[in-house]
Amino acid sequence: MVTQKAKGVIRSAILVPNELERKTILLNGLSNDDITTIQCEIDKNHKIIFSSIYMDKEKDIPIEILNKITNHAKTKNIPLVIGSDTNAHSAIWGCSKRQDETCKRGPIILDYINNNDLFIENDPDSDIPTFDSHVGRSNIDLTITNSKANKIISNWEVVQNNISDHNSLEFNKRGGIGSISVTANIAPKLCSEFQNSCANGFKDSEKLDKILQPVHAAMFIESNPSPVKYAACLLYTSDAADEEDSV
């Protein structure tokens, strides 16, 4: 996994296959806590740039660094693939009319795409949303490409059973291993027991999953890291109170 070393909370990363690990470099000038940009050498004649971008809904869309990433790929004449949680709605990429009309971020993303001659790979008619949790369903996650990458991408689709906490049981049942867990920050022992159960025949997996699901829901009630920080604060306060009671 490649990510930027930063002082704050890191909210982006890119998983790289083992065979490409030594052929991948992190582009530090085009990365920060919320953006991870890498260049991979597929073979001697082919390179590609990937950028994983989290756009905090409480912050302005980072147009300046988006343009830097796009211009870098254009200057190098390299395919560019951006995967982004945009927190932006538009009917162009499959959001509802209500979401489209009430969101001011969508037009900003569209201007960036149009001004840089980029492409949206998402299928607006897909029945599977890119974001699906207890708080709702939407298509705020976009795959954006330049013309060189657009030519080599086909059959774009949403992988329904991803490795998010709330889908972890189904992911493991379908042959996946482990998960990228938010809940593990708050309930590490329980999450470890769950994963061990999945790796050893699923004996107690469903029971543990039922216990964990309400915690998963609480951890994603708002954009992270706020829920995790709040839960950690509650745990610390509870532990401190227990220590005082035992004195």
pLDDT tens-place string over residues 15-65: 888 889 899 999 999 999 899 999 999 998 999 999 999 999 889 999 999
**Against a cut of 0.75, is the pTM above it?**
no
List the structure tokens of 153. Answer: 């991408």
Backbone angles phi, psi at 46, to 5 degrees: -135, 125
Backbone angles phi, psi at 152, to 5 degrees: -110, 5
pLDDT tens-place string over residues 210-247: 999 999 988 888 767 788 999 989 887 655 445 444 44
pLDDT tens-place string over residues 76-106: 999 999 999 999 999 899 887 767 666 889 9
DSSP at 230: H
Neighbours of 53 (CB within 10 A): 24
pLDDT of residue 101: 66
Say how far apart CA 73 and CA 50 lie, in whole Å.
10
Say how far apart CA 233 and CA 225 lie, in whole Å.
12
pLDDT tens-place string over residues 180-220: 788 999 999 999 999 999 999 999 999 999 999 999 988 88
Question: For residues 145-167, b (16+ Cβ closer than 10 Å) or e, as one string?
Answer: bbebbbeeeeeeebeeebbbbbb
CA distances from 105 to 34, 50, 87, 115, 187 (A): 17, 23, 8, 16, 35
Find the mean pLDDT for residues 168-179. 80
